[in-house]
Amino acid sequence: MRRTLAAAFVYFVCFVAGVWAGVFAQTPPKRIISLVPNVTEMLFAIGAGPQVVAVSSYDVEPPEVRSLPTVGALVDPDTERIIALRPDLVITYGSQVDLQTQLKAVSIPFFDYRHAGLEHIMVTMRALGARTGHADQAERAARAMQASIDGIKARVAGKPRPKTLLVFGREPGSLRNIYASAGRGFLHDMLEVAGGEDVLKDIDKESAQVSTELILARRPDVILELNAANRLNDADLKAVLDPWSALGSVPAVKNKRVIILNGPGLTVPGPRVIDGIDKMARALHP
């Protein structure tokens, strides 16, 4: 009897220790697949880049990822290829429930990500650091980002905050189907850090389609328009700006403060947002 109890006790201790080790002494993943482009950028920023073995078909940054195999993207992840690449961590987006179910079935761990506000970029970087064995580097990168954000905040502190409309899409050559950042999400946060007052801050959504009537009624002092092109020549710039002249009573139009912000990385919620915030701040407070 005593021997049986002793054996049971030994088994119990081993079991607890095993679980303990499984939970807390996880070895860092060596083969990461990222299906979320902005998280890929974060992984490289915290030093986990060399562990990344495949990315989504939309990944282009940093340049190192362009030579990696691609495994589909948000709506069409190639589950077979993902499993065949034998990853030990897959970065998924929150809405990829089917993929997550399949990964669970084959016991491949995943890191679930969803876009949220600006703060969430640093939160995600720290969580990724802890998960991939780069906690210190992630902490440094997150702190550096926070310092840049605080720096820009300090730079624009005390200056008047112009009412700003942040446009990220519309039908070319016209003022139809204008999409703008509304009162939630990282674009809104970027605008507020850059020293602008979001003219749509009362709309509790990440983005909203805005009618010309709403723009005329809200009278933004500045219209910032994001444009994915790297550079626009004068003729193109004129063509892009021209339709706005129909709304001549809007202060931004009247005072020539419709400003095009160029660059493909401006709207990616990753390490490059600092660039975006800096460009916004310079446009709002020249």
Partner 1 sequence: MTIRRRVFVVTSAFALVAFAVMVWAPTVGSTPISLARAFDRSIPWDDNVDAQIFFVARLPRVLAGGLVGATLAAAGVVLQAMLRNPLATPFTLGVSAGASLGAMLAVTTNLELSVLGVTSIPLASFAGSLIATGIVYALAASQRRGLSTNVLLLAGVTLNAFFSALILFVQYLSDFAEALRAIRWMMGGLDVASYTPILAALPFVVVSFVAFAMMTRTLNLLSVGAESAAAKGVDIVRAQRVAFLSASLATGAAVSLGGPIGFIGIIVPHLVRLLVGSDHRIVLPASALFGAAFLVLCDLAARTLMSPLEIPVGVVTALIGGPFFLWLLVKRS
- Sign of the Cα torsion 171, 177, 180, 185 reads negative
The binder of partner 1 chosen from 15, 94, 212, 238 (CB under 8 A): 212
Contacts of residue 194, defined as CB under 8 A and 6 or more positions apart, other chains included, come to: 152, 156, 277, 278, 280, 281, 284
- Does 171 bind partner 1 (CB under 8 A)? Our answer is yes
Gap between the Cα atoms of 141 and 173, Å rounded:
40
39-58 footprint of partner 1 as x/- string (CB under 8 A)? -------------------x
Question: How buried is residue 87: exposed, middle or buried, by Cβ count under 10 Å (0-12/13-18/19+)?
Answer: buried
CA–CA–CA angle 238, 241, 242 (5° rounding): 80
The binder of partner 1 chosen from 130, 144, 214, 232 (CB under 8 A): 214
The binder of partner 1 chosen from 28, 169, 263, 264 (CB under 8 A): 169
CB atoms within 10 A of CB 212: 13
Among the residue ranges 22-30, 100-108, 118-126, 169-177, the one whose residues contact partner 1 (CB under 8 A):
169-177
CB of 155 to partner 1, least distance (A): 31
Element (H, E) at 164: strand 163-169
- Does 260 bind partner 1 (CB under 8 A)? Our answer is no
CA–CA–CA angle 178, 180, 182 (5° rounding): 145
Element (H, E) at 87: none
Nearer to partner 1, 123 or 246 (CB): 246
Q: Reduced to 3 states, what is the DSSP secondary structure of residue 189?
A: helix
Length of the chain: 286
93-132 footprint of partner 1 as x/- string (CB under 8 A)? ----------------------------------------
Segment 74 to 93, residues that bind partner 1, using CB under 8 A? 74, 76
220-259 footprint of partner 1 as x/- string (CB under 8 A)? -----------------------x--xxxx----x-----
Contacts of residue 263, defined as CB under 8 A and 6 or more positions apart, other chains included, come to: 228, 230, 275, 276, 279
Nearer to partner 1, 42 or 203 (CB): 203
CB of 182 to partner 1, least distance (A): 9
Nearer to partner 1, 72 or 133 (CB): 72
Any idea which residue has 């809200």 for tokens?
218
The binder of partner 1 chosen from 172, 235, 256, 286 (CB under 8 A): 172
CB of 211 to partner 1, least distance (A): 5
What residues line the site for partner 1 (CB under 8 A)? 58, 74, 76, 169, 171-177, 200, 202-203, 205, 208-214, 216-217, 219, 243, 246-249, 254
